[in-house]
Amino acid sequence: MRSVEYVNSRNSLIDKGVFKLADSSFDIVSEVDHMEVDNAFNQADREIATRFDFKNTDSKIEKSGEKFLIEGQSEEKAKAVLEVFKDKLIKRQVSLKHLESTDPELSGKIYKISCTLKEGISTENAKKLAKIIRDEGPKSVKTQIQGETLRVTSKSRDDLQDTMALVKGQKLDFAVQFTNYR
């Protein structure tokens, strides 16, 4: 008997607006899975060491922190090493939008390509994304920039899923993932 009274009193409090249901939310981020990048690097390094067309060409890929250095005797060999690395990243489901590489530069007798990984959504890109969501997305959705993430909130989970579909359908120059869906 007592539990029925509690449920009825709680429901009437919700109806009166005393208890408010929490908004649902998710974060839009641009993060790299570093373990997968390491795996792709190791696979590319192994393939370069064993492939016949790279034998005796001094072609190699090196890693130092978040930077990769690709070397080859010719511009074509350096580009081929980069393509092997990109292929391994794709197979490990790491977006190539995270990889930023320079053009081959001659250094002595060797061509070098420097690559870095991009992470995070810049404030400028977050503002662009927020504008797209505001203009084209459901009206109940609100956005908030929090550092390198974009928080999207709404009372309706369906609106959040529509927003995810909208963001996935955009041609962005950075990779996005959705985290903290609650």
Domain boundaries, the chain: 17-31+121-179, 34-117
The confidence score (pLDDT) of residue 5 equals 54
The confidence score (pLDDT) of residue 17 equals 52
Q: Residue length, the chain?
A: 182
The confidence score (pLDDT) of residue 7 equals 46
Alpha-helical (H) ranges within the chain are: 2-16, 34-50, 75-91, 123-136, 157-168
Structure tokens at 172: 């962005």
Question: Cα-atom radius of gyration of the chain, to the nearest Å?
Answer: 24
The CATH topology of domain 17-31+121-179 is: Alpha-Beta Plaits (3.30.70)
Tell me which architecture the domain covering 34-117 has in CATH: 2-Layer Sandwich (3.30)
Residues of the chain with pLDDT under 70: 1-22
- pTM as predicted: 0.79
The confidence score (pLDDT) of residue 20 equals 55
CB 156 within 8 A of CB 21: no
Equal fold, 17-31+121-179 vs 34-117: yes
The confidence score (pLDDT) of residue 16 equals 54
